[in-house]
Structure formats: structure tokens, C-alpha cells
Amino acid sequence: MSTETPVKTPPQEEQNVELTRTGQVFRPLVDILENREELCILADMPGVDTQQIDVKFEDGSLTIHGRVKPRQAEDANFLLREYGVGDLYRVFQVSEAIDAAKIRAEYTDGVLTLHLPKVEAVKPRKIEVQAK
């Protein structure tokens, strides 16, 4: 059985972003972990309020979108500006090896954690060998 992760980021995803709010859109950094039971995606989403996070799964695409409020007024007079603020957006293609009905999301300390359980058919199982 292959241990290849059934989640990947499409190479052209930034070209497919169609958000109505003007301003910068950032791609959150993620870690993807795999164990026997599930895939786990950890996404850095600093400054996002829980109510402003959308996670959607449709037609094999998992979309993460976090809306971030501007920290300062539009007419603020910055002496130095190094910290960019904008929405966070990322899309992953998810294989049929994931049980979409059981996907869970948690948000703690600026990190979004998505649990993508595997369907029973792809979970590794031990096959007992019987002596004759």
C-alpha cells in the first residue's frame, strides 16, 4: 500500500483566487501530517477571528479562507511598515481516500488544525497468517 499523502496543493492556485475584498491575500504556511487514521493539516492563520474562518470541501477541493481585519486605518501615516495584513487563502486537492463527512476543524492560538479521517478501505490493516 502506498504511503503517499493524498492531499496536494495545485500549482496554479494563486491564479484561481477570486476574492471581492481589495488588498493583499496571503498563502498560509501549513504542515501536513499523516498517521494510520487521518491526515492532519496545521495552517498558520495569525490575526484571524474564529468567526472569520471558512473551511469548505467541495468536489475534491478543500478550501481554507480567513478574513483578517486591517490593523490600522486606511489613512494611517506609517513611519515604517514591515508587517503585511490581508486575507489568508489556500486550496488543496483531496483524494477519495478521505471521509469528507468526518472532516473536523479546530482553531487555537492562531493555528487552524484540520483533521481529515481516512476511509476504512485505505487504512492499513494487519493480515493474520494462519499455519496449516
**132 part of a folded domain:** no
**39 part of a folded domain:** yes
pLDDT at 14: 46
Cell (9 digits) for 8: 496536494
- The predicted model gives 58-83 an average pLDDT of 86
CA distance 67 to 89: 9
**115 part of a folded domain:** yes
**21 part of a folded domain:** no
The phi and psi torsions of 93 (rounded to 5 degrees) equal -90, 125
DSSP character string of 3-68:
---SEE--TTGGGG---SS-S-EE---EEEEE-SSEEEEEEE-TT--GGGEEEEEETTEEEEEE--
**49 part of a folded domain:** yes
pLDDT at 15: 44
**127 part of a folded domain:** no
Instruction: Count how many domains the chain has.
Output: 1
pLDDT at 11: 46
Neighbours of 70 (CB within 10 A): 10
Provide the residue range defining the domain that includes 75. 29-120
- Mean pLDDT, the chain, whole residue set: 82
* pTM of full prediction above 0.75: no
pLDDT at 18: 52
CA distance 27 to 7: 16
**pLDDT above 90 coverage of the chain, percent:** 47
pLDDT in tens, 2-48: 344 444 444 444 444 455 556 778 999 999 999 989 999 999 999 89
Please, are residues 93 and 61 in contact by the beta-carbon 8 Å criterion?
Answer: yes
**What CATH number is attached to the domain comprising 104?**
2.60.40.790
- The predicted model gives 73-95 an average pLDDT of 86
